[in-house]
Amino acid sequence: MATALELKVPADVEKVVDVLLDAKHDAYVVGGSVRDALRGVDPHDWDVTTDAKPEQIEKLFKRALYNNRFGTVVVQSGDHVVEVTTYRTEAGYADHRRPDAVAFTASLEEDLERRDFTMNAMAWRPPRGAKPGELIDPHHGRKDLEGRVLRAVGDPDERFGEDALRMLRAIRFATLLDLHIEPRTAEAIRRNAALTADLSGERIQQEITKMLSAPRPSVAFQMMSELGVLAVICPELEDSKGTPQEKAAAFNVFDHLLATLDATPQDDLPLRLAGLFHDIGKPETFADGHFHQHEFVGEAKARAILRRWKFDKDTIAEVTHLIRHHMFWYQMEWTGSAVRRFIRKVGLENIPALFALRRADNIGSGARSPRMYALDALWQRVQEEIAAATAFSLRDLQIDGNDIKRELGLEPGPEVGRILNELFERVTDNPALNERDKLLALAREIHRAR
Ligand code: ATP
Ligand code: MG
């Protein structure tokens, strides 16, 4: 069953295997690490599997940390972190999400059997003395990987029944590694899709985040929809298929969201999420045919979805802010004051992302040039205002609340805030007023006129 094979694995990682072998244990590099090494890419993490028990592993390495919950010993070897795990089978999945018990086994074959996909169920032992490197591949993962096929190990219905996350992993791997999900495996996802309802938000979030890092993440969302997973984990998106994007109904909101998503920058997660959800309020506001206020409905829906998936507060705040403001418009006649009010409203720090979202939105609508032209024109005007360094928030005023209190002999209280806000309004209309002396004089005037 073993085939001689050379693989490029860092010496630090081979060293961990060697230490275990020297101590008369069995040990292999395993799982995603072998898959990625075969593909010629550097894995995110290196995994080693062994018949040694956690306590034995721990004793063999100076820099080792035993994580009791996962039964994994994390070993620091040179620059590399290697996760060393005892061969195991997973016994009993009552809730489709985590094994009720982890049982150690003495058999590598059993350990490989509990892994999700053939390409993730290979083990490799580095060369040792005269012995060449050896690949253990009982499920023919190498052939599948070469043929670009994603296939469940064993009976796919059973595997997805044990852990529903595997269905999301299948779609994520197929998208990122450009694989074809083999028909029996795909059918089983369709049959078991409802089980993804039991998955924790955190686990869904991790998979969605990885899907969104693909060059064309629409592939994953299309696949989730076709296989019936999307209707379970994100009915809001699935439902958007039933709403036409514009009066001409050839293109629905779902198609538009995915086209926009693909047009956002690959390395910007909040922008990708904003692209994916920016029009998610449209199905609900379709009644009048104008999607009236869909950006506010969409903001609330996106917040609910992102909270369900346990995204962090900052990401949720950024994404929902972009969605709320994505409908901004511009006319050439705008005065400088109107441009400054626009910057104030959306926040200077959000301008680049908001424009990037609109560019993606335009591309996702089949970019017509006049819209693009208006966007570029507004971008120019915004840059001019930024270069003129006027005040876009209260913080940018040349005086603050303390100056006002001191100058007017005021106690802390609402009057100070009222004056500051009024000054900010005046400076937005006329940036030349943003000088200390002028502001203090104005403050006196505003206070007196009260
Ligand atoms: P990546 O690290 O690129 O996300 P990976 O395949 O390495 O992908 P890990 O979560 O690091 O994924 O898991 C390492 C290995 O553990 C997998 O390759 C697979 O063999 C096994 N594995 C992980 N999650 C599951 C699961 N839910 N069901 C079965 N086996 C799994
Ligand atoms: Mg991994």
Report whether 89 contacts 103 (CB < 8 A). yes
Q: What is the pLDDT of residue 291?
A: 87
For residue 306, the number of C-alpha atoms closer than 13 Å in the C-beta half-sphere is 27
Q: What is the pLDDT of residue 247?
A: 58
Q: Which of 401, 383, 389 is nearest to 427 (CA)?
A: 389
Closest Cα to atom 9 of ligand 1: 32
Question: Distance, CA 174 to ligand 1 centroid (Å)?
Answer: 14
Q: Which of 137, 203, 129, 125 is nearest to 164 (CA)?
A: 203
Tracing tokens 């591309």 back to the chain, one arrives at 363
Report whether 123 contacts 112 (CB < 8 A). yes
Q: What is the DSSP letter of 265?
A: -
Report the alpha-carbon distance of residue 327 to residue 321 in Å, rounded: 12
Q: What is the pLDDT of residue 371?
A: 66
Pocket test for ligand 1, best of 13, 116, 202 (most atoms within 8 A of CB): 116
Report the alpha-carbon distance of residue 278 to residue 299 in Å, rounded: 8
Long-range contacts of residues 188-192, Cβ cutoff 8 Å, at least 24 apart: 188/152, 188/156, 188/157, 188/159, 188/160, 189/156, 189/160, 189/227, 189/228, 189/229, 190/227, 190/228, 191/157, 192/157, 192/160, 192/161, 192/164, 192/167
Q: What is the pLDDT of residue 248?
A: 55
User: 435 in helix, strand or coil?
Assistant: coil
- In one-letter notation, the amino acid at residue 53 is K
Pocket flag, ligand 1, residue 159 (CB < 6 Å): no
A 10 A CB-CB count for 44 gives 8
Pocket test for ligand 1, best of 81, 120, 179, 210 (most atoms within 8 A of CB): 120
Q: What is the pLDDT of residue 290?
A: 80
Strand pairing category for 149-150 and 180-181: parallel
Report the alpha-carbon distance of residue 130 to residue 305 in Å, rounded: 56
Report the run of H or E that residue 86 belongs to, with start and end.
strand 80-86
Digit-by-digit pLDDT tens for the chain (450 residues) are 789 999 999 999 999 999 999 999 999 999 999 999 999 999 989 999 999 999 999 999 998 888 877 779 999 999 999 999 999 997 666 666 666 667 899 999 999 999 999 999 999 999 998 999 999 999 999 999 999 999 999 999 999 999 999 999 999 999 999 999 999 999 999 999 999 999 999 999 999 999 999 999 999 999 999 999 999 999 999 999 998 887 555 689 999 999 999 999 999 999 999 999 999 999 888 877 788 899 999 999 999 999 999 999 999 999 999 999 998 888 888 988 899 899 989 998 999 999 999 999 999 988 555 666 788 899 999 998 888 877 888 899 999 999 999 999 999 889 999 999 999 999 999 999 999 999 999 999 999 987
Report the alpha-carbon distance of residue 370 to residue 373 in Å, rounded: 5
Report whether 123 contacts 114 (CB < 8 A). no
Q: What is the pLDDT of residue 95?
A: 67
For every residue of 117-157, DSSP letters joined together read: BGGGS-EEE--BTTBPPEEE-TT-HHHHHHTTEE-BSS-HH
A 10 A CB-CB count for 267 gives 8
Question: Distance, CA 156 to ligand 2 centroid (Å)?
Answer: 21
Long-range contacts of residues 352-358, Cβ cutoff 8 Å, at least 24 apart: 353/268, 353/270, 353/271, 353/274, 353/318, 353/322, 354/322, 354/325, 354/326, 354/328, 355/379, 356/264, 356/265, 356/268, 356/271, 357/264, 357/271, 357/274, 357/275, 357/278, 357/322, 357/326, 358/326, 358/328
What strands lie across the sheet with 123-125, from one edge to the other?
2-4, 134-136, 123-125, 27-30, 46-50, 80-86, 72-77, 64-67
Closest Cα to atom 5 of ligand 1: 32
Report the alpha-carbon distance of residue 15 to residue 128 in Å, rounded: 11
Structure tokens that stand for 72 in this block: 């994994």
Pocket test for ligand 1, best of 36, 47, 113, 115 (most atoms within 8 A of CB): 115
A 10 A CB-CB count for 113 gives 17
Structure tokens that stand for 74 in this block: 């994390």
Strand pairing category for 123-125 and 101-104: unpaired
Question: Distance, CA 36 to ligand 2 centroid (Å)?
Answer: 9
Question: Distance, CA 42 to ligand 2 centroid (Å)?
Answer: 10
Report the alpha-carbon distance of residue 191 to residue 156 in Å, rounded: 10
Report whether 390 contacts 434 (CB < 8 A). yes
Q: Which of 190, 208, 191 is nearest to 199 (CA)?
A: 208
Tracing tokens 């972190």 back to the chain, one arrives at 81
Pocket flag, ligand 1, residue 163 (CB < 6 Å): yes
What percent of the chain clears pLDDT 70, i.e. is strictly above it?
Answer: 95
